[in-house]
Amino acid sequence: MNAPFLVHMNAVLNLTALVLLIVGVVFVKRGRIAAHRKVMIAAFVASSLFLVSYLANRSMHPEKPYHGDGLDRVFYYIVLATHIPLAAAVPVFAILLIRFGLKGRIDKHKRLARVAVPIWVYVSVTGVVIYLMLFWFNPPPPAS
């Protein structure tokens, strides 16, 4: 596997997790608990596959630098600075949410979900934004 394949696959997994998260929220708001459970587990699987693929890619290839300047660069680093610590929290949140949900501890599940799901959505959205900025809208490095 080469880096471009893993990078693009990571973006697809991130986007898949995002769509599944949104669908899962819609299902629970409509009272479709069994469908919510299945979709949220699928979102967890997509996010887990993303994490494994991301770590594999990072172990084989150096980080790609962002070469933009001005407000583009400021925006990129603000997004990155918020994305990284929140992304580290998502697996913990996701595991707790699944555990509470499957054990029937719905009050704890709901309380945590009110905080965790927006963070998980933000991480998925910013992950796609970072991918786009690095691999589609990244100008060439300045000439030396």
Consecutive 10-residue runs of the chain (144 residues): their mean pLDDT? 74 96 97 97 96 89 88 96 96 96 96 97 96 89 73
Going 12 to 136 to 128 to 87, the CA torsion angle's sign is: positive
Length of the chain: 144
* The token pair that represents 2 in the structure block: 């080469």
pLDDT at 62: 81
**CA atoms of 142 and 118, how far apart (whole Å):** 37
Q: At what angle do helices 33-60 and 106-135 cross, to 10 degrees?
A: 40
What structural domains and CATH numbers belong to the chain? 3-135 (1.20.120.80)
pLDDT at 144: 65
SS (H, E, C) the chain: CCHHHHHHHHHHHHHHHHHHHHHHHHHHHCCCHHHHHHHHHHHHHHHHHHHHHHHHHHHHCCCCCCCCCHHHHHHHHHHHHHHHHHHHHHHHHHHHHHHHHHCCCHHHHHHHHHHHHHHHHHHHHHHHHHHHHHHCCCCCCCCC
The number of angstroms, rounded, from the C-alpha of 91 to the middle of its chain's C-alpha atoms is 10
pLDDT at 5: 84
pTM for this model (two decimals): 0.90
